[in-house]
């Protein structure tokens, strides 16, 4: 009887750590965010590429005349674009704020929401870009990776204005 109960308990308890390893965590997503932020500050596209899924896709939305245009960029092209962009800028500064991380109920993926601010000088002109980023994450070969990034470019003064009532 003791063997039966012990065997039953082992068959239930032993698989639990394996199942837990198949779930993505807030901490893993935060580590990916931290690593890619450092790589961005260092203008290191190769390191960013280490944290992108093989099926990664960046969706870039921008205004064109009175329309909104949307372009889907695959992983390798995205890395080429950021590398080329950094090569033509100076005084580059990158900052992430207002980050929220959420894990899906099944633990197979996660989301982060952040505001990205980039300051740079390009062709002698100072520029600031603010982007509200929406990123999705998954485990790929046991590693947390970014699978998708989209968002909205924030125009004008994006400082929240508090109104007294």
DSSP string, 42-104: TT-HHHHHHTEEEEEEEEEEEEETTEEEEEEEEHHHHHHHHHHHHHTEEEEEEEEEEEEEEE-
- Reported as a single tens digit per residue, the pLDDT across 16-64 is 333 445 899 999 999 999 999 999 999 999 999 999 999 999 998 877 7
pLDDT at 10: 42
The residue among 120, 128, 36 whose CA lies nearest residue 85 is 120
The residue among 27, 34, 82 whose CA lies nearest residue 56 is 82
Question: What domains, with CATH codes, occur in the chain?
Answer: 23-154 (3.10.450.50)
Two structure tokens written together for 135 = 């990123």
pLDDT at 7: 45
Yes or no: say if 70 and 152 are a contact pair by the CB < 8 Å rule.
no
pTM beyond cutoff 0.95: no
| Beta-carbon contacts of residue 106 (< 8 Å; ≥ 6 apart) | none
pLDDT at 62: 76
Which residues in the chain land under pLDDT 50?
A: 4-20, 158, 160, 162-163, 165
């Amino acid at each position: 009887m003791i063997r039966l109960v012990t065997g039953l308990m082992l068959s239930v308890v032993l698989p639990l750590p394996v199942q837990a390893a198949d779930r993505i965590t807030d901490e893993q997503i935060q580590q990916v965010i931290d690593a890619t932020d450092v790589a961005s500050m260092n203008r290191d596209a190769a390191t960013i590429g280490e944290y992108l899924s093989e099926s990664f896709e960046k969706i870039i939305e921008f205004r064109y005349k009175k329309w909104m245009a949307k372009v889907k960029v695959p992983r390798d092209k995205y890395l080429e674009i950021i590398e080329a962009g950094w090569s033509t800028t100076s005084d580059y500064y990158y900052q992430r704020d207002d980050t929220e991380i959420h894990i899906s109920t099944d633990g197979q993926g996660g989301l982060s929401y952040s505001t990205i601010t980039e300051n740079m000088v390009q062709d002698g002109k100072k520029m600031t870009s603010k982007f509200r980023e929406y990123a999705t994450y998954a485990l790929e070969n046991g590693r947390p990776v970014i699978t998708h990034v989209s968002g909205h470019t924030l125009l004008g003064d994006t400082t929240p204005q508090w109104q007294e009532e």
